[in-house]
Structure 1
Amino acid sequence: MTTTTGSARSRAPRATGKVRLDRETIVAAGLELAAGNGTTAISVRDLGSRLGADPTAIYRHFRNKEQLMQALLDELNARAVAAVVAEPADWQERLRQLASATLSAFADHPAIGVEAVVLTTHGPGELDAVELMLDAFARAGLADDEIVHHYALMASHVLSTAAGIARSRGGRLTPDDAPRPWFDGPILADPRTHPRIAALWLQISELEDDELFMLGVESIISSAEQTAASAKTAVAGADGEA
Structure 2
Amino acid sequence: MTPAKADAASASMKVRLDRDTILAAALELAAQPGVSTLSFRELGAHLSVDPTAVYRHFRSKDELMMALLDQLAVRGLAEIDVPVEDWRGRLRAISMSTLHQFEQFPAIGVEAIVLTTNGPGEHGAIELMLDAFTRAGLSGEELVRHYALLAAHVLSAGANIARARADGASGVWLDKPILVDPREFPLVAANSTLLARLRDDELYRAGVELIIDSAERAVSQARFATDAPAPPEV
TM-score (norm 1): 0.88
Q: Which residue of structure 2 lines up, in the alignment, with residue 68 of structure 1?
A: 64
The percentage of counterpart residues that share the same residue type is 52
Displacement of 1:171 in angstroms is: 3.5
Query: Structure 1 239/22 Cα, relative in aligned 2: closer, same or farther at 3 Å?
Result: farther
Q: Which residue of structure 1 lines up, in the alignment, with residue 12 of structure 2?
A: 17
Q: Which residue of structure 2 lines up, in the alignment, with residue 133 of structure 1?
A: 129
Alignment of 1:104-119 (within 5 A): 104-119=100-115
Structure 1 residue 153 corresponds to structure 2 residue 149: yes
Once the two structures are superposed, residues 62-94 of structure 1 have per-residue CA deviations (whole angstroms, 9 ceiling, x without a partner) of: 122111110111111111111111111101111
Query: Structure 1 84/238 Cα, relative in aligned 2: closer, same or farther at 3 Å?
Result: farther
Return the letter of the residue paired with 2:185. Answer: H
Measured in 2, the distance between the counterparts of 1:117 and 1:61 equals 24
Q: Which residue of structure 2 lines up, in the alignment, with residue 97 of structure 1?
A: 93
SS for the counterpart of 2:191 is helix
Q: Which residue of structure 2 lines up, in the alignment, with residue 194 of structure 1?
A: 185
Q: Which residue of structure 1 lines up, in the alignment, with residue 82 of structure 2?
A: 86
Once the two structures are superposed, residues 192-224 of structure 1 have per-residue CA deviations (whole angstroms, 9 ceiling, x without a partner) of: 111101111111111111000010000000000
Structure 1 residue 230 corresponds to structure 2 residue 225: no
Once the two structures are superposed, residues 22-55 of structure 1 have per-residue CA deviations (whole angstroms, 9 ceiling, x without a partner) of: 1111111101111111111101111111112221
Displacement of 1:14 in angstroms is: 6.9
TM-score (norm 2): 0.91
Measured in 1, the distance between the counterparts of 2:36 and 2:16 equals 27
Contact 2:164–2:171 (Cα < 8 Å) also in 1:
no
Measured in 2, the distance between the counterparts of 1:187 and 1:14 equals 52
Measured in 2, the distance between the counterparts of 1:189 and 1:171 equals 26
Structure 1 residue 39 corresponds to structure 2 residue 30: no
- Segments of 4+ moved more than 2 angstroms: 238-241
Structure 1 residue 124 corresponds to structure 2 residue 120: yes
Return the letter of the residue paired with 2:36. Answer: T
Contact 1:190–1:198 (Cα < 8 Å) also in 2:
yes
Measured in 2, the distance between the counterparts of 1:240 and 1:211 equals 45
Q: Could you tell which deviates more after superposition, 144-153 or 50-59?
A: 50-59
Measured in 2, the distance between the counterparts of 1:225 and 1:184 equals 35
Q: How many residues in Structure 1 have an aligned counterpart in Structure 2?
A: 225
Displacement of 1:111 in angstroms is: 1.1
Measured in 1, the distance between the counterparts of 2:128 and 2:231 equals 35
Measured in 2, the distance between the counterparts of 1:213 and 1:86 equals 20
CA RMSD for the aligned pairs? Answer: 1.9
Q: Which residue of structure 1 lines up, in the alignment, with residue 167 of structure 2?
A: 171
